[in-house]
Structures are given as structure tokens and as C-alpha cells.
Amino acid sequence: MRSFIFNITYWSISAVYAVVCFLLALLPGRWALMHGLRSYCRLTVLLMRHIAGIKVEVRGTPPKNQPVVIAAKHQSWGDGIVMMAKTGNVNFVCGDHMLKFPLIGHVLKKAGAIVVNNQGGAEAKASLSDGISRSQDEACERPVLIYPEGHLTEVGTGLRYRSGAWRLSQELNRPVVPVATNLGQCWPQQRWEKHAGTAVIEFLEPIEPSSDRDAFLFELEMRAETRSRTLEAEFAHQRQPLHCQHTAEPIAEVRA
């Protein structure tokens, strides 16, 4: 019943905020729109706590107003919502699947989001390059959020980390803050059911820019995945593990 009430409430307020943020995006500047987006994310976190019984716990220090790249583990539709609620004015890299939602395309464009092709390839690289150029022209204190796996993963698994986080770090000359999470134990991927419990978002020690792509990605993946497995084990009692659709890839794999 909690899942049903939360989902109906969540999607209802999402529809309202889509219209509100679309209208805010028509105003000059970006301040009003970003305030509206953060308001939506904070309200969703409150709904998670008081309706679904999902308490969000932050460990480490969220890099608010810092020139960093945030590279986060991706287990849940709620990941980006929680991250924006906790980090404030953050730019973000997102997949083009977000454009299927009415009004969202204009909102993403005005927010400065870097929208890339989910399938990767030349189009995704071109979109990322364009986003990097725009980010170089923005105020340097605005963090950039990216999910290096590129897709949602099941709890206990991972996908090979793509090179986008490394490119952002290199070309913007910013350290990368890995983020581990177990949110998928409470809000698994895009599923309807929710599980009451504690969802941790943990900000880890930053990784400095490096010209060695493979070593950089190995370190990023090792930190985020290892710590996520630890958090999952810490809160394993919250839910029964779901059938895994992906198998975890070895983090030592050399990238092409």
C-alpha cells in the first residue's frame, strides 16, 4: 500500500512540477528554474521518508558550490532526485530517454543539462563535447553530475564505467568525487515497488585529474563499486534481493 500511495503522489507532483518548471524556464536567467527543480527534488525526498518509509542518509560531505565532477553509482530512478536535493545547484549529464517526457526537453536545455545518446557512440561523444564547452563558460563553482555506468543496474551488480567522467575531469580540470549508494535496495531501478529502510548516499575522497584514462577509471570504479557493495551488505536486512538481470563486470577490465 505504501508503494501505491507513494507512486501516485510522486507522479502527480512530477506532472505539476513539469508544468511549473517549464514556465520557470521561460523566465530570463536560470535561478528561478534551478530553485524550482531543487524544490521538486526536496519534496520528493520528503515523500520518500514520510510515505514510502525511505530515510535518506548522507555520509561524507556533499560538494556544494565546488568545481568538481560528481561520478555516482546508478541503481535507482531516484538517484538524480536525491543527488540534486543534497548538492544544490548542480549541472548534470543525462540520457536522451528523458526527452520522451512532455515539457522536459525545454527544461533540460534551459538548465544547461548535457543530454547524450544512451547508446553511446559518436553522437554521445559530440553531445558531451558540446556540454563540456558550455560548462567551461559557466561559473566554476557549479558541480557537474554524471553516472559513469550510463544505465541503471541491479543491486549487487555493476557495468563497466564509461570514459565520460574522465573526459569531464580532464577538459574541465576538475577532481572527481565518487559516490556510492544502496538506494536500489529501497527504490529498485524504475520498479513500482518500494521498500522501507535507509538509503545511504556516500561522498568519497576525490580523485585528481589524470592523463591515464584506464588507471583513472579503474580507481573510480573500484572506489564506487566496492563501497556500494559494503553499503548493500550493511543494509541487506531491508529487503530480499531481486533477481539480477546483469552480471557484475570485473573492475580490473582494461577499457578499449
Residue 124 — very low, low, confident or very high, per pLDDT cuts 50/70/90? Answer: low
Q: Which element (helix H / strand E) includes 56?
A: strand 54-59
Is 117 domain-assigned?
Answer: yes
Is 219 domain-assigned?
Answer: yes
Is 127 domain-assigned?
Answer: yes
CA distance 117 to 97: 8
Residue 252 — very low, low, confident or very high, per pLDDT cuts 50/70/90? Answer: very low
Q: What is the pLDDT of residues 58-102, one digit of tens each?
A: 999 999 888 899 999 999 999 999 999 999 888 888 877 777 777
Residue 105 — very low, low, confident or very high, per pLDDT cuts 50/70/90? Answer: confident
pLDDT at 34 over 60: yes
Domain that holds residue 192: 55-238
Q: What is the mean pLDDT of residues 5-13?
A: 96
Residue 246 — very low, low, confident or very high, per pLDDT cuts 50/70/90? Answer: very low
Quick one: how many helices (H) and strands (E) in the chain?
7, 7
What residues contact residue 88 under an 8 Å CB cut-off, 6+ apart? Answer: 38, 62, 64, 65
148: which DSSP letter? T
What pLDDT is attached to residue 104? 84
∠ CA 94-235-189, rounded to 5°: 30
CATH number at residue 214: 3.40.1130.10
Is 209 domain-assigned?
Answer: yes
Q: What is the mean pLDDT of residues 216-231?
A: 97
Residue 142 — very low, low, confident or very high, per pLDDT cuts 50/70/90? Answer: confident
What pLDDT is attached to residue 123? 65
Q: What is the mean pLDDT of residues 131-143?
A: 66
Task: Return the number of other C-beta atoms located less than 10 Å from residue 75's C-beta.
Answer: 28
Q: Which residue has the higher pLDDT, 115 or 74?
A: 74
Residue 8 — very low, low, confident or very high, per pLDDT cuts 50/70/90? Answer: very high
Q: Which residue has the higher pLDDT, 30 or 176?
A: 176
Task: Confirm if 6 and 48 have CB atoms less than 8 A apart.
Answer: yes
pLDDT at 131 over 70: no
What pLDDT is attached to residue 249? 46
Is 132 domain-assigned?
Answer: yes
What pLDDT is attached to residue 100? 74
Is 93 domain-assigned?
Answer: yes
pLDDT at 162 over 80: yes
Average pLDDT, the chain: 86
Task: Confirm if 99 and 22 have CB atoms less than 8 A apart.
Answer: no
CA distance 180 to 72: 6
Is 6 domain-assigned?
Answer: no
What pLDDT is attached to residue 118? 62
- The total domain count for the chain is 1
Is 42 domain-assigned?
Answer: no
